[in-house]
Chain A
Amino acid sequence: MSGLLKSSIGRKVAMALSGLFLVVFLTQHFVINSTAVIAPDTFNAWSHFMGSNPLVQYGLQPVLIFGVVFHFVMGFVLELQNRKARPVGYAQYKGSANAPWTSRNMILSGLVVLAFLGLHFYDFWIPEMIHKYVETHPEDPTRYYAETVHKFESPVRVVLYVISFVLLALHLWHGFASTFQSVGFNNKYSAGLSKFAKVWAITIPVGFIIIAVYLHFNQIPH
């Protein structure tokens, strides 16, 4: 049991489980964000809850940050190991003949998502932390919707978000469906689960794109 994370299979399972955890997180993030389009008051209420509830702030938030960091650090470790496993490359390697692009380029799509996370933290998480814990403004439960809408005023930011979500969809297209195989689940239900995962992999990122574009074209005065 102790050596599990040192073995190739243990690490693969850890990647799958941390990925699944992030899938769950993305789903709840999407549900909350979608209220910005359909019910701004609800968006404010839920954002306020997420931003002020001690269980979320001091319990779930650190777990989430650990999950994200673990997933990408382990991803890098495995990628470096995999590169070492073929010290001399092929003169001709036809990867497209036997595996889809998404499965062969997880590190590339993952790096774009990681870069996006940097931007996303700069946009929302860092200002939020400064607002709450450094400048200690009196809490205004109605500020979240306006702040979010104003973030999407810049077309450059919207384009960056759209590109990132396209890459996120490609990452999830392979990643989500393959988590079941990694944890050893391959049976008569696998084809159905894989279809569900692929539909989800497109739906959620496209949903995020729609929200970003909608907010960009529905600005409110500062």
Chain B
Amino acid sequence: MKLTLKVWRQKNATAKGSIVTYPIDGIDGDMSFLEMMDMLNNKLILEGDEPVTFDHDCREGICGSCSMFINGEAHGPDRLVTTCQLHMRKFKDGDTITIEPFRAAGFPVIKDLMVDRSSFDRIQHAGGFISVNTSGNTQDANSIPIEKENADDAFAAATCIGCGACVASCKNSSAMLFVGAKVSQFALLPQGEVEATTRVLNMVKQMDEEGFGNCTNTGACEVECPKGISLENIARMNREYLSASLKG
């Protein structure tokens, strides 16, 4: 496959970036998108050019590192996959592919396609945990009976890998699907009840302070989420937040 890549290049966080066009040849349909980027980088290195910086780690869709905005969509045109799981067979010979970093005030660009997503870490630090003393006297998790439906929903929420596709896709750069999932995974379990009130208040406060936008229920986040996190989690967070605000 022969392709034309239009890639966002930006030297550092403060530099002014621009789209640079690179032709590339010899792309196989069975390659992953990141392997194609590796090929581009090899070519750039051989030509004495600076390789394109991008985040990647596990390359099997579980770490949440890869974060490209491909042809106007987070993680590209395929559904329920991360960029590393996107195959080049989704594109045709002669295609032009625009590759940009995730864009949001809460995700400032570090270099090229790499963005700083530590805002998500700070939201997690604000309340995305349960305080359990694990010094040897922790009871077996299975000794607390949990309804199957709640266990399943909590697990589904916990599959969020924090990649930020929800923010990148949302026209408002809202982080509510991420925060909704992180609130829900505890709200559904008895272990999460103890800190339920402070958790949602603190996490939402931190989310707002990080400069993410407001949710207008377009549903783009759910469609683009590689893990299929449901909008139900946002509704649950809204409920939790309202009840916590009334209590607090």
A182-B214 CB under 8 A given contacts A10-B245, A91-B100, A98-B169: no
Check if A104 sits within 8 Å of B103, measured CB to CB: no
- Interface positions of A (Cβ within 8 A of B): 1, 3-4, 7-13, 78, 81-82, 84-95, 97-100, 103-104, 106, 174, 178, 181-186
- Interface positions of B (Cβ within 8 A of A): 6, 8, 19, 69, 71-73, 77, 98, 100, 103-106, 109, 169, 171-174, 176, 204-205, 207-208, 211-220, 223-224, 231-232, 234-242, 245-246, 248
Check if B218 sits within 8 Å of A104, measured CB to CB: yes
Check if B207 sits within 8 Å of A8, measured CB to CB: yes
Check if B213 sits within 8 Å of A85, measured CB to CB: yes
Not counting A1-B248, A78-B214, a sample of 6 additional A-B residue pairs whose C-beta atoms are within 8 angstroms of each other reads A8-B174, A10-B245, A11-B214, A84-B105, A95-B220, A181-B231
How many A-B contacts are there with CB distance less than 8 Å? 136
Separation in Å of the B142 CB from the closest CB of chain A? Answer: 28
How long is the Cα–Cα vector from A12 to B204 in the complex, in angstroms? 13
Chain A residue with the shortest CB-CB distance to B232: A186
Chain A residue with the shortest CB-CB distance to B240: A184
Partner of B223, one of A87, A99, A185: A99
Separation in Å of the B7 CB from the closest CB of chain A? Answer: 10
Separation in Å of the B40 CB from the closest CB of chain A? Answer: 18
A81-B238 CB under 8 A given contacts A10-B245, A186-B231: no
Chain A residue with the shortest CB-CB distance to B238: A184
Check if A86 sits within 8 Å of B103, measured CB to CB: yes
Check if B217 sits within 8 Å of A174, measured CB to CB: yes
Check if B204 sits within 8 Å of A103, measured CB to CB: no
Separation in Å of the A95 CB from the closest CB of chain B? Answer: 6
Chain A residue with the shortest CB-CB distance to B169: A98
Check if B231 sits within 8 Å of A82, measured CB to CB: no
How long is the Cα–Cα vector from A35 to B98 in the complex, in angstroms? 57
How long is the Cα–Cα vector from A78 to B217 in the complex, in angstroms? 13
How long is the Cα–Cα vector from A85 to B213 in the complex, in angstroms? 5
What are 9 residue pairs bridging A and B, where the CB atoms are less than 8 Å apart in the complex? Answer: A9-B237, A12-B214, A12-B238, A85-B105, A91-B6, A91-B19, A100-B218, A182-B215, A185-B235
